[in-house]
Amino acid sequence: MTVATESSPSSPGAVRAAGRRPVRDVVFVEGVRTPFGKARPDGLFAETRADDLVVKAVRELLRRHPELPPERVDEVAIAATTQQGDQGLTLGRTVALLAGLPTTVPGYAIDRMCAGAMTAVTTTAASIAVGASDVAIAGGVEHMGRHPMGVGADPNPRFLAERLVDAEALDMGVTAENLHDRFPHLTKERADAYAVNTQARYAKALANGDIGPEIVPVAVRSAERGWGLATADELPRPGTTMEAIAGLKTPFRPGGRVTAGNASPLTDGATASLVAAGDVAEELGLPVAMRMVSYAFAGVPAEIMGYGPVPATDKALARAGLTIDDIGLFEINEAFAVQVLTFLDHYGIADDDERVNPYGGAIAVGHPLAGSGVRLMTQLARQFAQHPEVRYGLTTMCVGLGQGGTVIWENPHHADYSGHVPASTEG
């Protein structure tokens, strides 16, 4: 990634000491994921380890890129929100070892709650950009069945004593209700309609084959039923109608607006992606699916956590020297429908705009917290290939405790694609 788009590294008159490395372009090569399963005792992955899920994804990624010598991977960054048990022990390193990467390949674990995988990508990208590494595997996992959000956490009492965050801000559903309060025109009906639409879009994308190529089959064992093979997402509810979800309970507040119908379900799943320096991708023949233009994370009051994507996007656009009008495709994580509506409303985008989550979103497919960021990127990459007329797209998500994260990408299929800037043009 570069802080400002094409101009920065090659700007004339830049003074550079001998041997100082230029900032390099970073490209997204490919992303894959496991099927997403219900985080319940009868779910797909109830008896499958979280680390095994990531390992299968990483191995598939490497299999798809025989042109990448495994020893050229410089980092394996894997995110999980709850880093305990089968999500503990420095996931990036353990996953590298379990996936059969050479022992010379290092790795680390990442946590930024729901933006874990996104942060794994931006952090490894930043490292690539400054020349500290060439190729990285970035991904995330959340087995919410084994690790329900917040279990084992011990929040500092000062949060409440000093009113640093609202007492209810740790419950994500409550923060979604807060958004409805703050933006009364974002009604439950609009949220439900959004959810119905996203279910329909997912079903259509699945039928079209837009969902599927990135899915890694995972062998799953049940002591009762024996071995099986998870090949498809378990959570989507095709054919969902307004009527079907209108009467669902509002678990976060009596008479509230947030229901299981317009929120993402608890999910088990993992993602992994390959990120590389532009020049190294060229050297190795790695295909370029997207070029990173800029990224930003931003904080907001924890009680309106879902507002986070707005300031994060503003920041990322500013850094890229772009405006929201330059963005032709959006992959926004659907923790809650109202959180997506907040974003769309802010930028004056219609609830059912075709550019936003064209394959449906997390309300349908699920949201394995620290795994979701790479799913967004994987889907945006496919949309880029389908839409060469779009030059820029973004992936964005809200993050617990009041944050947002946004990454802006450039489409290499676009006629004006800037290409990567060779690192050796200066010196």
Partner 1 sequence: MTDTTTPGENPAASGTTRAERVTRTLVRDVALPGGTGTMALVTLDNGLDHTKPNTLGPQGLAELTAALRGLQQRAAAGELVAVGVTGKPYVLAAGADLLGVGAVTRREEALELGRAGHAAYELLHTMGVPTFAFVNGIALGGGLELALNCDYRTVSSDVGALGLPEVGLGLVPGWGGSYVVPHLVGIEKAVDVLLTRPAASKPFKAAEALDAGLVDAMFDAADFLERSIAWAEQVVRGEVTVPRREPDPEPVWDAVLSATRRRLDAVVAGSRPAPYRALELLAGARTWTRAEAFAAEDEALADLIMSDEMRASVYAFQLVSGGKKPAGAPSPDLARPVTRVGIVGAGLMAAQIALLVSQRLGVPVVMRDLDTERVEKGLGFVRSTVEKLVGRGRMTPEVAARVTASVHGTTQIEDLAGCDLVIEAVTEVMDLKKRVFAELEGIVAQDAVLATNTSALSVTEMASVLQHPERVVGIHFFNPVAQMPLVEVVKARGTSDEALATAFAVTKKLRKTSVLVADRPGFVVNRLLVLVMGKVVEAVENGTPVEVADSALAPLGFPMPTFELFDLVGPAVGLHVLTSLREELGDRFPRSPGLEKLVADATRVVLDAPGPGLPKPVNPEIQEAFGPARPGEPGVLDAHGVLDSVLTALTVEIGHMLDEGVVAAPQQIDLCMILGAGWGFHTGGITPYLDRTGYSERVLGRRLLPAGVADVPRDAG
Distances (CA, A) of 177 to 42, 56, 125, 259, 335: 29, 37, 35, 10, 12
Residue 36 belongs to what H/E stretch?
A: none
Closest distance of CB 38 from partner 1, Å: 17
Catalytic annotation present for 346: no
Q: Which of 65, 143, 147, 398 is catalytic?
A: 398
Nearer Cβ to partner 1 (220/277): 220
What's the burial of 285, exposed, middle or buried (CB within 10 Å: 0-12/13-18/19+)? Answer: exposed
The encoded tokens of residue 72 equal 């050229």
- Outline where DSSP puts E strands in 6-70: 26-33, 37-38
Dihedral of alpha carbons 344, 316, 213, 369, sign: negative
Closest distance of CB 41 from partner 1, Å: 17
The encoded tokens of residue 361 equal 């979103």
Nearer Cβ to partner 1 (69/228): 228
Nearer Cβ to partner 1 (94/198): 94
Catalytic annotation present for 387: no
Catalytic annotation present for 398: yes
Closest distance of CB 34 from partner 1, Å: 11
C-alpha 49/C-alpha 150 separation (Å) is 19
Q: Which of 143, 180, 367, 420 is catalytic?
A: 367
Q: Which of 65, 114, 180, 420 is catalytic?
A: 114
Closest distance of CB 221 from partner 1, Å: 7
**Which of 132, 106, 137, 103 is CA-nearest to residue 120?**
137
Which residues on neighbouring strands pair with residue 296, listed in sequence order? Answer: 406
Closest distance of CB 99 from partner 1, Å: 6
Closest distance of CB 227 from partner 1, Å: 5
Asked if 105 contacts 68 with a C-beta cutoff of 8 angstroms, the reply is no
Nearer Cβ to partner 1 (59/375): 59
Nearer Cβ to partner 1 (60/192): 60
Residue 377 belongs to what H/E stretch?
A: helix 372-386
Which ranges of 30-115 would DSSP assign to H, the alpha helix? Answer: 50-64, 91-98
In the chain, the amino acid numbered 125 is A
Residues at the interface with partner 1 (CB under 8 A):
55-56, 59-60, 98-100, 216-219, 221, 223-229, 231-232
Nearer Cβ to partner 1 (102/155): 102
The catalytic site residues sit at 114, 367, 398
